[in-house]
Chains A and B, each alone.
Chain A
């Protein structure tokens, strides 16, 4: 069974403020990672955004991208994680 895919899930969680989506999208654009889907919610002041991103044509490695996203998260004061999609597929689907 092939469990590795090129798709990752980027999750952003933190205080809502202006420019979060723009900031994260800019990092992904620069890395030539393509955004397949975005879902975003704001509950009270807590902002959460989930992006599905394809790294097939990305200019940077998954590791480097994680690093770039974490740096951007620091700038924006939010927590940004990137994980392979399979982890969610495995946990929630049979």
Chain B
């Protein structure tokens, strides 16, 4: 047997995936519990949180860079998620938590991570005082920070949908857009409204460190739409059984890379390894698009009939391949379909062939939801709440995570576009239904947990 252990083709395949097909580790995210930072004084609480993050994550970026160097695989983002701040800050009597957000922002800058998630509250069944304060602070917090991401869980399969929170989040999204109007409402790109939020998600903007998580943990998000695209390009006539097998094999390899990076990072940092999130997460770069994979399967453009079926097959095959490759799979795991972050989605939306309603249908079969969609700035808050309610209903009934991250871009109309730059990309303003749902949203209360919840 050759001492090389590997076939040269295998080595060349790995190198090709990295150099030509944008294979990368999308993120190494350190989850940090801030439960021990609660204090009766908000300022003390913020200082405790800042100090703890800086202490635990001091070497995160350096270790990430060492792994990149040693293995020749780019790690695009190093990030941090923390305990939902509503729980951490609740002990104090303050009626605004913006100070917590600015402390998180400073800590993120100090340790060199580009995003920190966890300015969050879980209110699927109701609000505590801390939840109320946190949600009311979101617009200000996102307008006065660069790196902080916020999320609010408004529904679960077990609890139903908190329609009061759904109504409020419509207004919070509008306020956040207005307070960051000079940057196209970019605050909303860092604000996610969830149903069935997961506690170990390494991807932003929805990452937070759940209350069942350990003190500190390393979670890894892998990516590689380009690798999957290339693999299926080589089999233009394969039937769906063969296509699924090809995607599974590719997802396996991509996930192994994440498993390695996570284990090494965990070892080097002396922090337990949590999960690998096997997601196909696109970026605006050429060749890093989920939409292109669906198009390569035979759709003229993503958004046409067949898109939902194509995405369902892709999502499932990614999970099947990835599940074999990692000991601990978690997070969101599946395919992401953010509009502004995927060149194929952007083009299809610009051409008008990818509609809001088709995107909603596609979220029934992919890993998250209506993501990074720019809508007219004058969209009423109630309409945004209606969008959230629909998406939460899909998640609740299908026992899956769904989310809404829409940006009502101030002053922009259908036909305009907005540029966020960097990973957040650009997006055409997409039309939404103009009929009112205000009376529906105004009812308030809770949509009861569905029969699916009664599985004990």
Residue positions of A touching B, CB distance < 8 A: 1, 3-4, 9, 11, 13, 36-37, 39, 41, 48, 50, 52, 62-63, 66, 81-92
Contact A41 B260, beta carbon cutoff 8 Å: no
Contact B6 A87, beta carbon cutoff 8 Å: no
Number of interface residues of B (CB under 8 A): 24
- In the complex, besides A37-B4, A50-B11, 20 extra interface pairs with C-beta distance below 8 angstroms are A1-B263, A3-B260, A3-B263, A3-B264, A9-B11, A11-B12, A37-B2, A41-B8, A48-B12, A50-B4, A50-B12, A87-B72, A88-B14, A90-B257, A90-B260, A91-B253, A91-B256, A91-B260, A92-B253, A92-B256
Number of A-B contacts (CB under 8 A): 74
**Chain A contacts for B439, CB-based, 8 A:** none
Contact B69 A63, beta carbon cutoff 8 Å: yes
B267 to chain A, nearest CB (A): 7
CA separation between A84 and B199, bound complex, in Å?
33
**Chain A contacts for B15, CB-based, 8 A:** 11, 13, 81
- CB of B239 closer than 8 Å to a CB of A: no
- CB of B5 closer than 8 Å to a CB of A: yes
A17 to chain B, nearest CB (A): 19
CA separation between A62 and B71, bound complex, in Å?
11
A68 to chain B, nearest CB (A): 14
- CB of B173 closer than 8 Å to a CB of A: no
Contact B10 A88, beta carbon cutoff 8 Å: yes
CA separation between A64 and B72, bound complex, in Å?
15
Contact A87 B73, beta carbon cutoff 8 Å: yes
Within 8 A of A (CB), among B1-22: 2-6, 8, 10-12, 14-15
Contact B3 A87, beta carbon cutoff 8 Å: no
CA separation between A92 and B5, bound complex, in Å?
10
B79 to chain A, nearest CB (A): 22
Q: Given A3-B263, A83-B72, A92-B253, do A39 and B8 touch, yes or no (CB 8 Å)? A: yes
Contact A4 B264, beta carbon cutoff 8 Å: yes
CA separation between A1 and B71, bound complex, in Å?
17
A45 to chain B, nearest CB (A): 16
Q: Given A48-B12, A81-B15, A86-B71, do A92 and B260 touch, yes or no (CB 8 Å)? A: no
**Chain B contacts for A85, CB-based, 8 A:** 5
Within 8 A of A (CB), among B71-94: 71-73
Q: Given A3-B260, A48-B8, A81-B72, do A91 and B14 touch, yes or no (CB 8 Å)? A: yes
Q: Digit string of B252-286 for contact with A (CB within 8 Å is 1, else 0)?
A: 01001101100110010000000000000000000
Contact A87 B14, beta carbon cutoff 8 Å: yes
CA separation between A4 and B260, bound complex, in Å?
10
CA separation between A63 and B72, bound complex, in Å?
11
**Chain B contacts for A36, CB-based, 8 A:** 3-4
CA separation between A4 and B267, bound complex, in Å?
10
CA separation between A3 and B257, bound complex, in Å?
12
* Residue in B4, B5, B73, B267 whose CB lies within 8 Å of A3: B267
CA separation between A1 and B73, bound complex, in Å?
20
Contact B4 A39, beta carbon cutoff 8 Å: yes
* Residue in A50, A84, A89, A92 whose CB lies within 8 Å of B70: A84
**Chain B contacts for A63, CB-based, 8 A:** 69
CA separation between A66 and B66, bound complex, in Å?
13
Q: Given A9-B11, A13-B15, A48-B8, do A62 and B2 touch, yes or no (CB 8 Å)? A: no
Q: Given A9-B11, A11-B12, A50-B11, do A86 and B260 touch, yes or no (CB 8 Å)? A: yes
CA separation between A13 and B10, bound complex, in Å?
14
Q: Which residue of A lies closest to B258 (CB)?
A: A90
* Residue in B5, B257, B267 whose CB lies within 8 Å of A87: B257
**Can you list 8 residue pairs at the A/B interface with Cβ under 8 Å?**
A1-B263, A3-B260, A11-B15, A36-B3, A52-B4, A63-B69, A85-B5, A91-B257
Q: Given A3-B267, A36-B3, do A90 and B259 touch, yes or no (CB 8 Å)? A: yes
